[in-house]
Amino acid sequence: MQIAEITNQGLRRAYSLVIPAEAIAARVETRLAEVSKTIRMPGFRPGKVPANLVKKMHGAALRGEALQDALNDGVNQVISSNGLRPATQPQVDVDGELPDDGDARFTVSLEILPTIDDVKIDDLALEKLVVPADDAAMDAALARLAESAQRTEPAPAKHKAKTGDTVVIDYEGTVDGVKFDGGTGEGMRVKIGSGQLIPGFEDQLVGAKANEQRTILVTFPEDYGAANLAGKPAEFAITVQAVEVPAETKIDDEFAKGFGLDSLDALKEILKDQLDAELGGLSRTHLKRKLLDTLASRHDFDVPVSMVDAEFDQIWQTLEAEAAREADPAAAKAEIEAEREDYRRIAVRRVRLGLLLSEIGQRGGVTVSQAEMNRLIGQEAARYAPAEQQKVVKFFQENAMAAMQLRAPLYEDKVVDYLIGKAAITERAVTREELEAAIASEDESPAGHVHGPDCEHDHDHAPAKPAKKAAAKKAKAEEPAAEAAAEPVKKAPAKKAAAKKADAEPAAEAEAPAKPKKATKKSA
Amino acid sequence: MANIDIKHYDVVVKPVITEKSTLVSEFNQVVFQVAKDATKPQIKAAVEALYGVKVLAVNTMVAKGKTKRWRGQEYRRSDVKKAVVTVADGDRIDVTTSI
């Protein structure tokens, strides 16, 4: 095997690779010997087929196989003998035609990882913003919970509905004397002043009494969801079944029992944990961002173009998908197009930080143990149906690439931990608002653009963040979920219930991923 | 090769490629499946014409079809006539490249 360097430019390398005919032939022979022991052919007992016959039947395939093997070995040899650390999968081109016999010539081109000579991770000074979980926040959370759990009780017969009351109505809506789809319903609960219905609808219910009949005239707003109704005047014939007034929700043990808890203290405990986790996540996000910023400003080295391209493409795809969903896709597209350079810069930064972190991890001896790996795989598998779990575990055990992807976020987190451990950290107590503002202001995204979560943070190199956010979201979603489960029928106006279910469903799915619904989705 | 008759293709059906047939190839013999009604002289003429070799001897056999049952009914598979053709030293027939 002859290897010669063709290009050596920056991080780019290219080599010519010649595999001599004899080497290929030798490989074919060994392969032939192996295969003919197992091959089956009518008229012969297994393994008794003469070699020349096998060669005639499968010669071409064997040669292709041998060539592939030889090529892989060659590429490995190129990498090992030159001590290269490839950034991406080497690209192999065939020079001219592949001959049926004779020497095979290839060009192997690849980009190598830059060598980072001086990693400056000493004397890191970071400021950690800590939000103390105070009673005020606690009370606010409790109040929120109470608010959403608010129940109503029937009002006295003569009571006239006022803002804040809930009215149970049957309704029949017409436009130009014609009924329209979804315009008729029974037993709808309307909370006056909640603004859930068409403007004006709720106002006209003020003063209604139980068993009263009214006619309401409203005009659908211009931007109403159904185009055939938008901007049209409509008439609703209403029968009021009942009027309910909100009942005072007292925050006491009784209230906590509504959530299946023993006492108010237990509820407070849970809320406190959630709050702490949320705040802890936020302050870590901020700290990590600071750390990455510091690292980025201290280091500057060439990064492989192909990796940047891959990263950039990923960003770009997300952006384009988002732009396509905007109200005016063309304008949104033009906007991101204008900021193309900025995104490119972000991609470079991400790749550089990613490389830097892995280098630091290597030098610092940060490793992910097999036990941790198994736990990760277990978590991943738990997201699938029980029947599939075995397969998933097997897949990750056998597929090194997939396992790497699973490993990367954990590894990065550990490196960050390692760095934070090394750094001199000063703590400063701030309020929650200040912390959130600090995180928002340090977005690496270019100014003036307001895109989704993917551009706010390094999703690739900081996967811990979305995970934390998701956790926080889940915690929030859990409240309505618990509530909906606790008292599904008794309260919650129809519309609200629907909204809540929508809220609760993702939470439930996240909590119990082995649920059949999810399972079918996955396996389908 | 010059005098290949269309009839020759009807005489020689196909070569028999089995473990046994590869064994006899050591003795310059080749096995063919031939038409049921083919005679030794016909086979000799056909093989000489098609493969361009000198045939020294032809031995034939008829392998009787096996009796099988399908849904209790007995039936017989077709008989097969095989010819073991001995070719002159130096001449070779590559049976794996079909004609």
pLDDT tens, position by position, B66-86? 999 999 899 999 999 999 999
A213-233 pLDDT, tens per residue? 777 777 777 777 666 777 777
**CATH no. of B7-87:** 3.30.70.330
Closest CA–CA distance from residue A35 to any residue of chain B (Å): 17
Task: Tokens for A301, please give them.
Answer: 């080295």
Q: CATH number of A151-246: 3.40.1190.20, 3.10.50.40, 3.40.50.300, 2.30.40.10?
A: 3.10.50.40
DSSP helix/strand/coil, A497: helix
Secondary structure of A219-287 in HEC code, one letter for each residue: ECCCCCCCCCCCCCEEEEEEEEEEEEEECCCCCCHHHHHCCCCCCHHHHHHHHHHHHHHHHHHHHHHHH
The answer to whether the Cβ–Cβ distance between A44 and B19 falls below 8 Å is yes
ipTM metric: 0.72
Interface with A, mutate which of B80, B96, B97 (most A CBs under 10 A): B96
Q: What is residue A443's predicted lDDT score, i.e. its pLDDT? A: 52
Q: Who among B17, B19, B21 is closest to A48 (CB)? A: B19
B22 and chain A: CB distance < 8 Å anywhere?
yes
Q: What is the pLDDT of residue A520?
A: 38
Rounded to a whole number of angstroms, the distance from the CA of B87 to the nearest CA of chain A is 21
Query: CA A320, CA A451: separation in Å to the nearest integer?
Result: 11
User: CA geometry: angle at A74 spanning A73 and A77, to 5°?
Assistant: 85
pLDDT tier at B99, thresholds 50, 70, 90: low
DSSP summary character for residue B61:
E
Counting as low any pLDDT under 70, the low residues of chain A are 1-2, 5, 7, 9-10, 83-84, 86-87, 95-102, 115-137, 146-158, 195-196, 225-227, 246-262, 429, 431-435, 438-524
Q: Is B39 on the interface with A (CB under 8 A)?
A: no
> Are A43 and B96 in contact (CB < 8 Å)?
no
The residues spanned by each domain of chain A are 2-111, 125-131+282-477, 151-246
Evaluate if residue B64 carries a pLDDT over 80. Answer: yes
Tokens representing A245 are: 């007034």
A189-202 pLDDT per residue, tens: 777 777 667 777 77
pTM: 0.45
A-chain residues near B22 (CB < 8 A):
50, 53
Residue from B17, B95, B97 whose CB has the most chain A CBs within 10 Å, to mutate: B17
CA A315 from centroid of its chain's CA atoms = 14
| pLDDT (average), residues B42-69 | 89
8 Å CB contact of A53 and B19: no
Across the interface, do B18 and A48 touch by the CB < 8 Å criterion? Answer: no
CB within 8 Å: B17 and A53: yes
Site of tokens 């290897």: A3
CB atoms A45 and B18 under 8 Å: no
Q: What share of chain B is helix, strand, coil (3-state, %, to 5)?
A: 25, 35, 35
CB-CB under 8 Å, A56 with B96: yes
Yes or no, beta carbons of B18 and A56 under 8 Å apart: no
Q: Does B19 touch chain A (CB under 8 A)?
A: yes
In chain B, where the domains are located:
7-87
Q: Which CATH architecture has domain A2-111?
A: 2-Layer Sandwich (3.30)
- Judge whether B18 is closer than 8 Å to chain A, CB to CB: yes
For residue A114 the two structure tokens come to 């830059």
| Structure-token pair, residue A447 | 């100014």
Q: State whether A43 and B16 contact (CB < 8 Å).
A: yes
In A, residues 54-93, which contact B (CB 8 Å cutoff)?
A: 56
Q: What is the DSSP letter of A446?
A: P
Give the pLDDT confidence score for residue A83 in this predicted structure: 67
Multiple choice CATH, A125-131+282-477, 2.40.50.100, 3.40.50.300, 1.10.3120.10, 3.90.1150.10:
1.10.3120.10
Nearest CA in chain B to A42: B18
Residue with more model confidence, A433 or B18: B18
Residue A229 · residue A182 · CB < 8 Å? no
